[in-house]
A and B are shown apart, each in its own frame.
Chain A
């Protein structure tokens, strides 16, 4: 009797576990599905870096992205730094891979040098901000395992609607996180809030998405992303200008050899 009871408990446990995993993956798949077909986009953004004592520094970056057209590859992205003035013209090119390390290049205008760089520094900060490189990569399902936790009212300015709460654990190497908890808008399948847990599994950062706008009647893009580091009390706000999806993005620009001639 006891044995049957335990096996019953175990069954419920595993059923729940697999249900939670399946639901987590389903949410991720729907999120990706609804954000498929944008082909290419172009946007200008400001990064506003704030330290604990209130000091502020600003960065202006132009960014282009190209949606993956092969199933085993991620998106390609290109960031051109317009300020600070001493790094103006520096370009960062990334070809995101899903299972393999990403290919990354840096163009240094003062030396006219394109450097292919190591990509293992995913947990390192992007341009001195509170964003790590891995926070800015395109969302690829297979880079995480997904566990559905619960449904609840969304945090922040979305508190009138319900959110799925899903725990995502990075499957790639060299992540700075043990896990992240993502609040996803239940109707629109867009992330509205993310908590990041460091390698010691304590809360490190929180990211709030705000000012979502709909493009081409299909693609939601947040225009304000605020990353707060709870341990250092620093924060970085990213403010996007309007996205341009209609631009016929030139695929050949995402080529390391051509970085020298990008404006």
Chain B
């Protein structure tokens, strides 16, 4: 790794100015928690943190190699687990017309649905960053992608596994008990297990289909309790997944479905839904309505917990199409079995050309003690973010 870094920065001097791009985002997050924490009576009512996201790309014009680094440095006022530096991407990529080969730490996204990302299984989720699971750790990989007209075949070899990070015990968003720092890897599971995954993506006019196979350490751990400590256990899983989107003029139909084998009896997870573009308001504000259904037949006594088992997500996304790119998403995810739900409101707007203001609200309703994520029930929060880009 150090050698790789050394080569990486050494090569910095070699390139002409138009062969690289460097950009940075600097921001602050202020979180307000209106309710008293369930964990500790004196737990914080607010939390303040700052972050820096540098991103450097080198793409010498006379070479087929390109290099990328992106990272995240965060410092938090109250939670030490949120003081960290994470290398999100650090890779070298060979780019040919028909294929590319990438070696290093990568960020990868697969999927089509909005309320859950069940086929997106390459990177580990970073719950220190946020609860939505959309922030991810870099994944050391060798990736090969082969392009066929509108279709794509990709293959991943992942020699190093990264465990899921979490907030410090007793701090906001942390689980009910402390997490034991050493996790279990039974059977052939191990941090050094060589995981692999492959995906084939096919376009048929208005239909886009992706087929996925993954074998390796599960990104989600199953949680057991030993001596009042949470122990995360990662097992080798075989996952087969499918994602599908039908695109028409104003309607998207989306499906993600997976079958996972490795935690006891194999189980199926499915997200199915629609995204419909409504007539614009004042011929300017674009309104999309989202409706998604989540199904899961896992037995949580032998498989990782999920809150999305028999749930419905319903929401609206507003794009104001103004100079400041004002956007809003409002929605609610409702569990049809026990009527627990969480609500979200996300809004953002640019100001003064290179600043951005974002506001997020999440509220948890009817969370009972027999639910897997009941410890979040008083963690309703408002996150105010201001960032500058340069």
Q: Among B108, B245, B249, B321, point to the contact of A101 (Cβ < 8 A).
A: B249
A113→B120 CA distance, assembly (Å): 11
Contact with A along B242-286 (1 / 0, CB 8 A): 000101111110000000000000000000000101001001101
Question: Residue among B203, B280, B283, B323 with the most chain A CB within 10 A?
Answer: B323
A88→B149 CA distance, assembly (Å): 27
The interface-forming segment of A28-36, A115-123, A186-194, A239-247 is A115-123
> Is chain B's interface secondary structure helix, strand, loop, or mixed overall?
strand
- Whether A255 contacts B321 by the Cβ 8 Å rule is no
Instruction: Please tell me if B310 contacts chain A, counting CB pairs below 8 Å.
Output: no
**In the complex, what's the smallest C-beta–C-beta distance from A208 to chain B, in angstroms?**
21
- Whether B248 contacts A86 by the Cβ 8 Å rule is no
Q: Among B249, B322, B353, point to the contact of A128 (Cβ < 8 A).
A: B322
A112→B248 CA distance, assembly (Å): 23
A112→B150 CA distance, assembly (Å): 18
**In the complex, what's the smallest C-beta–C-beta distance from B121 to chain A, in angstroms?**
14
> Is chain A's interface secondary structure helix, strand, loop, or mixed overall?
loop
A51→B23 CA distance, assembly (Å): 29
Q: Among A84, A101, A255, A257, point to the contact of B248 (Cβ < 8 A).
A: A101
Query: Across the interface, which residues of A come within 8 angstroms of B324, CB to CB?
Result: 128
Contact with A along B75-99 (1 / 0, CB 8 A): 0000000000000000001010100
Contact with A along B100-115 (1 / 0, CB 8 A): 1000000111000000
- Whether A116 contacts B245 by the Cβ 8 Å rule is yes
Instruction: Please tell me if B52 contacts chain A, counting CB pairs below 8 Å.
Output: no
Contact with A along B171-205 (1 / 0, CB 8 A): 00000000000000000000000000000010100
- Whether A124 contacts B284 by the Cβ 8 Å rule is yes
Contact with B along A46-90 (1 / 0, CB 8 A): 000101000101100000000000000000000000001111100
Residues of chain A touching chain B, judged by Cβ–Cβ distance below 8 Å, are 49, 51, 55, 57-58, 84-88, 101, 103, 111-113, 116-121, 123-125, 128, 173-174, 176, 198-199, 250, 252, 255-258, 261, 263
25 examples of A-B residue contacts, CB within 8 angstroms: A49-B323, A57-B323, A84-B325, A84-B354, A85-B389, A86-B25, A86-B325, A88-B389, A113-B109, A116-B245, A116-B247, A118-B247, A118-B249, A118-B275, A118-B277, A120-B249, A121-B286, A123-B283, A128-B321, A128-B325, A174-B250, A199-B283, A256-B203, A261-B100, A263-B21
A-B pairs, 4 with minimum CB distance: A85-B389, A120-B249, A120-B250, A257-B152
